[in-house]
Structure 1
């Protein structure tokens, strides 16, 4: 156990969920304590010593919401099934910082915990506060970009390794994935951090002007050149140059750029003299440069000069576990700008965000949150305000019979009482389905678990749980 890890209290009366959640959080570096009820939590622990309290909504005795406010500054995350969404909304009004619907994925829970702890740095122990301050460095990629999934953690690791070197980097990724943020992290982690980072979108500069913009020009070099001009590459001397959408460079500019990479020299348009420059090159593209070399659209020698080290930023559809964490960050930022601190996403809006394919990636998500924040009539954002084009094939509406607040019925715990400490949340789902599918229809199973029939089928496929024949 490290001295500075965050302390989390889990208040949950079901042994299987309590043990699985404890195991999940401990595995991810958190110090975890547990209690079976709100009364046990207040009797056994000093609540102010924790950085976060995660509590079930319905507990024996007092409800989980009774813990809200008992330790000022300590955020409370409420867990609830979809059968109690109305009560969950009420818990937000009482002061819960967030709620999460059961059954939840590991990534969803970890994303919520990370987001809450990032937004509440003043809670918990003095050691945790010191750790937060020490980690709050803008040069770390994890502080510039958000990503809890394995793919993004690999991106962060690669950036940390390659940034301190002089190696040229090619960033691959679809539009809106955050390629410029990755370039900023590479620059800020490099020895050139005190020098400028010049960013150029090659697709945004007219082809007739791009050479002049990049390399500069002498007075009279062409019609309209009434004075000399320093190019962007020279302006980045000593620092880094980020060339976004480098696949859009015309052939003449490609040849000039190759000389910069090979010789470290630039020559202004209309000049006969070359000048030495020291520039760390970072390029980015959403196109397949290798395929473009076969068609002659991109110089093969330039491609190999650029592709010394490649960083691939995954699209948002491959980062499902990060969607709600990103949305929470964007929403907090937008709420602060608008002076609406209570702004939150409805459960239906969360599900809509998770199911959208996000062709515009993180940029599209940020725009959707900003739009919805402006259109929201109150403090709760609905799917209609997100205005997403939903995929067909699934009904996202929650039956009114399930939204009854105080009438929540929990799935029964596994009969294997001695196996709880080794079960994950996926194990809990599997045990519940296997124990109850003999006496329940698929519809009833889905309703008890608070998910749709399609989601139940998808989880069966993922976990290899066959349907009962007959």
Structure 2
């Protein structure tokens, strides 16, 4: 049984990670500081998971105190730069808070798989040459046909160097898909650097991605390595790439075309070997028509596209996901007999889940806390929508999910329901009011507005709105 040492000063996080890993079958010891961790003989463990910021010595000190043990750094997104720097010091990987439980388990499994020698020569072949037996189903859950097709595509694409564009609504698991692509690739032993393009201020995005030289701008007191350069040899995941400003798009195109970067303020280019994985919830092709996104960059990124289905198209997975989330909450709360009532299960299946898997997880966590007894009733799920648009008719709950929303008979057969919505709105919003658009689509104005927000389609001002 692998032994793991957790070094974390926040009681809630330390306890949660310890219980998660113990439930997964690991032997776990914890400490609140580097000094206390050293007393535990850290080199006797198979893995050390440490927070970056600790009282006294920083978490990176564990790299020196246990030179023969891999160190996984936990950090907030605000400290992402420090986490990348720690990897240069010898950390094997980092994970940004708040992290998904599956993400933590996948990172741990990957590190331990790299540390352990293959049991037989066949192992590498079975894993596509990556030296481990990780599968997308170990990282993401799904049994319905649509998500199984995603798993099959990931297995085929991961061992290649092909650039991948992941498309999906918020909360569908785009970062988990990117992690699966990385862990199943020959680059699994190298870093996966994840960047949320929407979370970095526009004025800093080029410096963060490409790095800068000392004196390149006010405040640049020293040269810094960019996140693309930090991913050299590994994979770079650019989440919400549709939010990149125009200048950064042009520079990223050069990386894809020439495998070169140039730091801000530098005249010298540097060669990088990076596998690019991008993700968006927006319609990039439509954005190329409005000039918001470079068409040449779009075609460079869209070599292979993986579409993650929204949860409303995975109705067969809803209860399975709910049970997984409920089991975690029951473990965390010490209430092992927690279960969903039949009425609650029916409500979960009827709800449309505009926030997808993330919304389902939040609903289960909230209900687990609010439930008075061991049985969770529908009332504590707090899924009361303002209109019936949030729910699927009872007659369709057990039926084919393809029938859940109307499609005009003349729509192209290769368009998904979301693609059709985007296509219809973009084609007609200049000549139709919001009310007319909603009537044609068979939804309320509120639902039209919410889908615009979710899919990133800006509203055009018209005289009739």
Q: Does the CA contact (< 8 Å) of 2:350 and 2:397 recur in 1?
A: no
1:335 aligns to what?
330
2:321 aligns to what?
326
Shift of 1:381: 1.2
1:202 aligns to what?
197
Find out whether 1:252 has 2:255 as its counterpart. no
Secondary structure at the counterpart of residue 186 of structure 1: helix
Q: Does the CA contact (< 8 Å) of 2:259 and 2:273 recur in 1?
A: yes
Given the alignment, which residue of 140, 144, 150 partners 2:135? 140
> Could you say if the C-alpha distance between residues 270 and 371 of structure 1 is closer, same or farther in structure 2, counting changes exceeding 3 Å?
same
Find out whether 1:189 has 2:210 as its counterpart. no
1:289 aligns to what?
284
> Could you say if the C-alpha distance between residues 459 and 233 of structure 1 is closer, same or farther in structure 2, counting changes exceeding 3 Å?
closer
1:371 aligns to what?
366
2:164 aligns to what?
169
> Could you say if the C-alpha distance between residues 208 and 138 of structure 1 is closer, same or farther in structure 2, counting changes exceeding 3 Å?
farther
> Could you say if the C-alpha distance between residues 235 and 368 of structure 1 is closer, same or farther in structure 2, counting changes exceeding 3 Å?
same
Q: Which runs of 5+ in 1 are unaligned?
A: 1-133, 397-451, 463-470
Q: Aligned residues, how many?
A: 271
Find out whether 1:266 has 2:261 as its counterpart. yes
Q: For residues 291 and 396 of structure 2, what CA distance do their matches in structure 1 show?
A: 48
Given the alignment, which residue of 299, 303, 306 partners 2:294? 299
Q: For residues 177 and 280 of structure 2, what CA distance do their matches in structure 1 show?
A: 13
Greater RCO structure (CA 8 Å; 6+ sep): 1
> Normalised by the size of structure 2, how large is the TM-score?
0.56
Find out whether 1:221 has 2:216 as its counterpart. yes
2:80 aligns to what?
none
Shift of 1:336: 1.1
Secondary structure at the counterpart of residue 191 of structure 1: coil
Secondary structure at the counterpart of residue 142 of structure 2: coil
Given the alignment, which residue of 338, 347, 351 partners 1:352? 347
Q: For residues 159 and 357 of structure 1, what CA distance do their matches in structure 2 show?
A: 26
Answer with 1 or 2: which has the greater Rg: 1
Shift of 1:461: 10
> Normalised by the size of structure 1, how large is the TM-score?
0.55
Q: For residues 309 and 191 of structure 1, what CA distance do their matches in structure 2 show?
A: 18
Q: Does the CA contact (< 8 Å) of 1:141 and 1:156 recur in 2?
A: yes
> Could you say if the C-alpha distance between residues 261 and 357 of structure 1 is closer, same or farther in structure 2, counting changes exceeding 3 Å?
same
Q: Does the CA contact (< 8 Å) of 1:356 and 1:391 recur in 2?
A: no
Secondary structure at the counterpart of residue 330 of structure 2: helix
Q: Does the CA contact (< 8 Å) of 2:349 and 2:397 recur in 1?
A: no
Shift of 1:389: 2.2
Secondary structure at the counterpart of residue 314 of structure 1: coil
- Cα deviation, 1:21-46, whole Å, max 9, x if unaligned, reads xxxxxxxxxxxxxxxxxxxxxxxxxx
Q: For residues 230 and 356 of structure 1, what CA distance do their matches in structure 2 show?
A: 46
Shift of 1:374: 1.2
- RMSD value over aligned CA atoms? 2.4
Find out whether 1:383 has 2:378 as its counterpart. yes
- Cα deviation, 1:43-92, whole Å, max 9, x if unaligned, reads xxxxxxxxxxxxxxxxxxxxxxxxxxxxxxxxxxxxxxxxxxxxxxxxxx
> Could you say if the C-alpha distance between residues 391 and 328 of structure 1 is closer, same or farther in structure 2, counting changes exceeding 3 Å?
farther
> Could you say if the C-alpha distance between residues 276 and 298 of structure 1 is closer, same or farther in structure 2, counting changes exceeding 3 Å?
same
Q: Which runs of 5+ in 2 are unaligned?
A: 1-125, 402-465
Q: For residues 166 and 215 of structure 1, what CA distance do their matches in structure 2 show?
A: 21
Q: For residues 279 and 314 of structure 2, what CA distance do their matches in structure 1 show?
A: 20
